[in-house]
Amino acid sequence: MAIREILVVPHPVLKEVSAPVEGGVTDELRALMDDMLETMYAAPGIGLAAVQIGVPKRVIVMDLAGKDEPPAPQVFVNPEITWASEELASYEEGCLSVPEIFDNVERPAKVKIKYLNRAGDLIEEEAEGLYAVCIQHEMDHLEGVVFLDHLSRLKRDRAVAKVKKLVKAA
């Protein structure tokens, strides 16, 4: 396992649409997932899409366990939203590719998703609350969308300028 570099806005790879994973879940793909989890935990964060480490494949990792709970890593290969509620919910989001920026984003309150898990099994389930927010946020990355794209142009431009300044200072 290895900690990978997380790309930050406005890196052009973050705007790429990720390609579907072909050939199912392989040991090579599991090694990528392990690197992604290690990178996410080190950041620290609760979700990471492969494109954020420069690999534009439809792979996501998440762990929504609380501080005093044991780790509960999840992996999603070729995830799809098959249904979204009309009811919306607003949640303050942040992103490892947009360090130190947080803002409210409105998304469907519930979604149904299907994906392949680490073993390659097809899973279909409903997500709500933080799970729904996080899976939609990470799936946006697979389409070349960062959460800033949900904000007004002014807020987005200010956030990108702030991130560029942070990166320059590092």
Q: How confident is the model at residue 28 (pLDDT cuts 50, 70, 90)?
A: very high
Domains by residue range for the chain, with CATH: 12-169 (3.90.45.10)
What's the rounded mean pLDDT across residues 106-117?
98
pLDDT at 163 (0 to 100): 86
In degrees and rounded to multiples of 5, residue 132 shows phi and psi of: -65, -45
pLDDT in tens, 53-93: 999 999 999 999 988 999 999 999 999 999 999 999 999 99
- Residues serving a catalytic function are 138
Residue 160: its pLDDT value, please? 84
Token pair 């279909």: residue: 124
pLDDT on residue 166 = 83
* Rounded Cα distance, 144 and 123, in Å: 24
The two three-digit tokens of residue 63, written as one number: 């762990």
